[in-house]
Structures are given as structure tokens and as C-alpha cells.
Amino acid sequence: MSLLNIVYRNLLNRKLQSIVTIIIVAVGVALSQSVMLISDGMKEGMKQTSGPYGMLVGSKGSSTQLVMNTIFLSDTPLGNLDYAYFEKLRSDARVSQLVPFGMGDNYKGFRIIGTNMDFFEIREKLSDPPYFRLKEGRSFKQPFEIVLGAETARQGNLKVGDTFIASHGAVATQGEEEHHNENPYIVVGVLAKTFSSADLGIYTPLESYWISHTQPESMDLNNKETKRGVTAILVKPDSYVNLYAMYQEINLGKDAQAVFPGKELAKLFDMIGSGKKVLEWISYAVLGMAGLSIMLSMYGSMLERKRTVAILRAIGASKSIILVLVFLETFVLILFGTLAGAVLGYGIATVFASYMINDHGIGIVPLFHFKLYPVVFGVCFIGMAGSLIPALSAYRTEVSKYLNPL
């Protein structure tokens, strides 16, 4: 009978203990792996989402709120900047690209963003292709024509040619559709998927935003007295020197604030980092429990099988074979627990990634990476160390004592 066959029979005889041990190991590995995959994947996804946005300008207030609202289409918008401020920036010779954003309406929870044609020229680098590209239809040309984000079209079951009435406010609220009944939107295009929050947006000319928020008797957009504004502005100066110069100038002024999305996200990551640490320590505690469970399981098994070990010794099995048998049994438990945990952890991360891309537009790709190797080796070390006591107990079993008639 081979050693593997003996191990198989031993584990089968202690089915409940073996399953419980495997589950404990699997939970520890799954928790460790999912925390790493989700936190690192989310961080990378948020970085990719904010990549095309160089510097954002908005009203004075929370800089994090400005970033989350403009880029991630979450949180409530800050107050509007006067359109004259946008024109002032547009006339600045140091600015190479300027994209306005007007927010305040939604359709079934999907944010409607007023902007201009420069939106379709946003690039992460000058040499890169445009970040936002059309998959179907065309770009908007006049007020109340809209281009949908990929997820908005899919989840909202919308296509080119469809029309709808928007609701007032950044989030869906029942009973407010009548506010914009006089201005239905028509879908003229759908963007290609970007795996970012932009996939959950609805894009329309800035004039649509102004008209929707202006009284009918004062809708003359050519009249300078008409109240117009923008919620945020993407500013891309022509050089890094001018970028930081404008950043300081804007923040020293009284009208607006300038923020670097990457800097704000770094602050956010620092804030959630402590939570990640807590989860990591919990997972390590579970792994420690797994090691203890293996030790107790194997020790109990050896106490129950002293006579079996003695018989194996009597028919010629050496002490080293008995030692290998115990370690092999432990290794099989760890192997199955680790594999089950890896699958479970990846499954948890995949489900979370699906939720984040569908509900928040943040792409998370849960990929196995080098940070997971210490977890796997740690589980193996804890398990093998835990089996050392029962292995030595089996090694020292006195053959004559346990072969006496029962």
C-alpha cells in the first residue's frame, strides 16, 4: 500500500475533522487573498480612472468631493463657478485644453453631465488616442442630444434614437420627472467601454444643463445677463511649470480651488489603509487558527492511531516513514485548504469587481501577484510547524507497548 493511499484512508476515516481543517485554512487564505486583490485592484482602477484628468478646478469646498463628483460621478456637486471664470481661464495663453462640466440632473440615477466637444479630445498623454471614443452613432451637436456611457446604455437598456425625460438632482428621486418634461433628451451616440466611472455617465452639450436650470422667460443664452455656470473645469496647461503656477494662483484666489486628482486619491488611500490593515491582521489570525487546528487535528489523530503506527512499524516501516506519513497528511490538508481558499478569494474579488464596475464604474482586475506568495508560504509554514508535535509523537511510538493484546 502506497503512502498516498494510507494518507487518503486516514483522512477519510477522519472526514469531519479533515473538512473542518480544510475550511479553516481556506477561509484564512481567501480572506488574505481577497483583501490584497480588492485593495490593490481598487487602487489601480481608481488611478486609471483619474489618469486623463490633469487638474480640476471648482468652487471652494471639499477637494475630495470635487474629485469624487467630477471623475467618479459620486457624491453631491459643489456650487457652480460663474461662466465668466471659465472664459477667464479660456483666455489664458498658458492653457492648452479646457473642458467644462455641468452637473445636477440624472436619469434613473445615471448622472447627466453637460460639457462641450473638447470632452472627446481628452487624452492621458498627447501621444495617446482620445480617452473617450464613440462605439455607436455620433457626438452631440445641439442641446438635449446625448451620448451615453457604455454601462448607462447597457443597464438602462437605451440605444441610439431613444428619448427620455430627466429628473432634477444628482441622484434618482421619484416624482421629479415633471421638472424637465418640456425638454426630452435624445440618444445620438454611445461611447466605447472605458472600464471607468465615465461608463455610467450621460453626456450632453453644456447648453442643455443651462436651459434645464433656467426659467423659461430667461432662456436667451446669448444674453450675458443669463445666469450660467459650470460645476467643474478640467484644465490642462501647456507645461508642468505653468501647471503648478496656475495651481498656486487659483488656490490663492477667492473664486475657486484647483486640485490634482492623484494627490486627493493618495489621501483617500491613506484613510482606507488602516481598514485594510485591520482586515489583513484578522486574516492572519485566522491563518494562525488554521495552524493550531492542523496541529490539534494531527495530534488527536496520532493518539487515536498509536496502534496503527505500531503495526506499521512492526511490518517494516521505519521511523522516518512514519514521520513522512504525518507530514504528508498535513501537507495534503494544507494543499486542499490553500487551493480552496485561492479559488474562494479570487471568487470574492471577482464578485466585488463586478459590483464596482457595474455600480461605480471603477474597473478592478483581480490578478494573482507576488504579494500572495508570502501568504501561501506562510500557511505552509504554520501547518507544517503545527504538525511537528504529532509527528514527533508518532516517531517516538513504542512498538511493543501498543502491540500488546487489547
Residues 71-83 have pLDDT tens digits of: 888 878 888 999 9
Q: Which residue is listed with cell 483522512?
A: 11
pLDDT at 111: 92
% of the chain at pLDDT higher than 90: 28
pLDDT at 376 over 80: no
Residue 41: its H or E element: helix 15-50
Domain ranges of the chain: 3-46+272-402, 55-259
- 204 DSSP β-pair partners: 114
Residue 298 has pLDDT above 90, yes or no: no
Question: pLDDT value at position 318?
Answer: 64
* Higher pLDDT, residue 343 or 171: 343
Q: Please list, residue by residue across 168-178, b when 16 or more beta carbons sit within 10 angstroms of its beta carbon and e when fewer do.
A: eebeeeeeeee
pLDDT reading at 306 higher than 90: no
Structure-model confidence comparison of residues 175 and 182, the more confident one = 182
pLDDT of residue 177: 47
Tell whether the model's pLDDT for residue 209 goes beyond 80: yes
Which H or E run contains 89? helix 83-90
Q: Tell me the average pLDDT of the chain.
A: 80
Between 280 and 74, name the one with better pLDDT: 74
pLDDT of 283 higher than 80: no
Q: How far apart are CA 19 and CA 303, in angstroms?
A: 19
